[in-house]
Amino acid sequence: MVDMSTFVLDADARATLFTDARSNVHFSDQPVSMDAVHDVWDLIKWGPTANNTVPLRLAAATSDDARARVLEHAAEGNRAKVEAAPLVLVAARDERFHDHFALTGGSETAAARFDSDPEARTRFAHTNAMLQTGYLIVGLRAAGLAVRPLGGFDRAGLDADMFADSPWRSEVILLVGYPTDEHGAGDRKGRIDSTLAVKEI
């Protein structure tokens, strides 16, 4: 039972963001505009990242060619899902996030340190891009959208094909669309509840 005094968001908002939201496989035919994606980005960009590095980037496969190329790198079991999605986003990390330190407030010393240590940069960018991907999923839901994240794809193949001249490296594919009553995601699987996941130390 939820203690009603705990939350500042009402039950409808919590349902939209978490309790009713599913990882849809089926979506309505309504297209998802790039304006909506920009609006969601400009909301979720405020979620915190280490050193305020903001390393997540989004490649939206809006052309037939880009969709076909993403599809080619999807795992066999994910192909039909990609084909059915109104919008396909590739969530990527920017391995040269430190080039934006003038904007994000990083110091020149930190930029020089990151520049000389590509492995640390990859680790740092990966961790924080995945953190931002969580914010992004919740932000898309806040715009009334449903999201199916996909980790099952050939990252090296997609990166060579789509990001060859870029410091972006793929993390997750996000299938995005407006929900239907029939989400196609099957029965809701169990979650680890707070009695198991939370302890006082």
Residues that bind ligand FMN (CB under 6 A): 22-23, 78, 81, 149-152, 172, 185, 188-189
Please, which residue, 53 or 78, has the CB nearer to ligand FMN?
78
**Integer Cα distance of 150 and 179 in angstroms:** 17
Q: Would you say 37 or 129 has its CB closer to ligand FMN?
A: 129
Can you list the alpha helix ranges (DSSP code H) found in the chain?
11-14, 34-44, 64-73, 79-84, 101-104, 108-115, 118-142, 155-162, 194-197
> Minimum distance from CB of 161 to ligand FMN (Å)?
18
Q: Is 91 helix (H, G, I), strand (E, B) or coil?
A: strand
CB of 151 to ligand FMN, least distance (A): 3
Angle at 171 between CA 169 and CA 48, to 5 degrees: 100
* Cβ-based nearer residue to ligand FMN, 189 or 199: 189
Burial class (CB in 10 A: 0-12, 13-18, 19+), 93: buried
Q: How far is the CB of 64 from ligand FMN (least distance, A)?
A: 23
| Least Å from the CB of residue 66 to ligand FMN | 19
Tell me which amino acid residue 50 is.
A
Look-up: residue for tokens 């997540």? 56
Give the nearer residue to ligand FMN in terms of CB position, either 73 or 81.
81
Q: Which is nearer to ligand FMN, 118 or 151 (CB)?
A: 151
How far is 17 from 183, CA to CA, in rounded Å? 15
Q: Least distance in Å: CB of 154 to ligand FMN?
A: 12
